[in-house]
Amino acid sequence: MDIKGKIIQKLEPQGGVSKAGNQWKKQEYVLETFDSYPRKVKFDFFGERADQYPLEVGDVITLSYDIESREFNGRWYTDIRGFKAMKEDPNSVPAATAAPYPPAGEPAPAPEGMPAPPPVEDTSFEQGGDDLPF
């Protein structure tokens, strides 16, 4: 899955040694999307990817990620694990995504392969004459 947004926070790197004696490293970030209602998404790069994709606050990226859940002591934990980050030109970022609905009075576009809907009749009563509908 992919998501596009701007890095708004870089958290402290984490690391250590596993029970098996292997070194591990994790770098977490917070990304804010460019939707009409922006969402904040915390994700991480684990292992060698933490060094492979060094990101900074203000970077605009397209993140490829997986969602992973695990159970521990009867509780479930979910991570958003990044596996690729493509830096974008910050000047080409849209201010917000277009409105999901067409403006009032305009028909919605027909889905691909479907005929266009018939034109909408003007039902306003401001054309003079009697304004009663009966």
Note the pLDDT of residue 89. Answer: 79
Q: Where are the domains of the chain?
A: 2-91
Structure-token pair, residue 43: 């994700």
Mean pLDDT, rounded, for 58-86: 95
Give yes or no for residue 7 having a pLDDT over 90: yes
Note the pLDDT of residue 42. Answer: 96
In angstroms, rounded to a whole number, what is the distance separating the alpha carbons of residues 55 and 8?
Answer: 10
Which stretches of 15-117 are DSSP H helices?
Answer: 49-52
> What is the helix (H) or strand (E) element at residue 31, kind and residue range?
strand 23-33
- DSSP for 34-63 reads -SSS--EEEEEEETTHHHHS---TT-EEEE
Taking only the tens place, the pLDDT of each residue in 122-131 is 555 555 556 6
Note the pLDDT of residue 91. Answer: 72
* Residues near 100 by beta carbon (within 8 Å), at least 6 away in sequence: 36
Q: How would CATH label the architecture of 2-91?
A: Beta Barrel (2.40)
88 band by pLDDT with thresholds 50, 70 and 90: confident
Give yes or no for residue 24 having a pLDDT over 60: yes
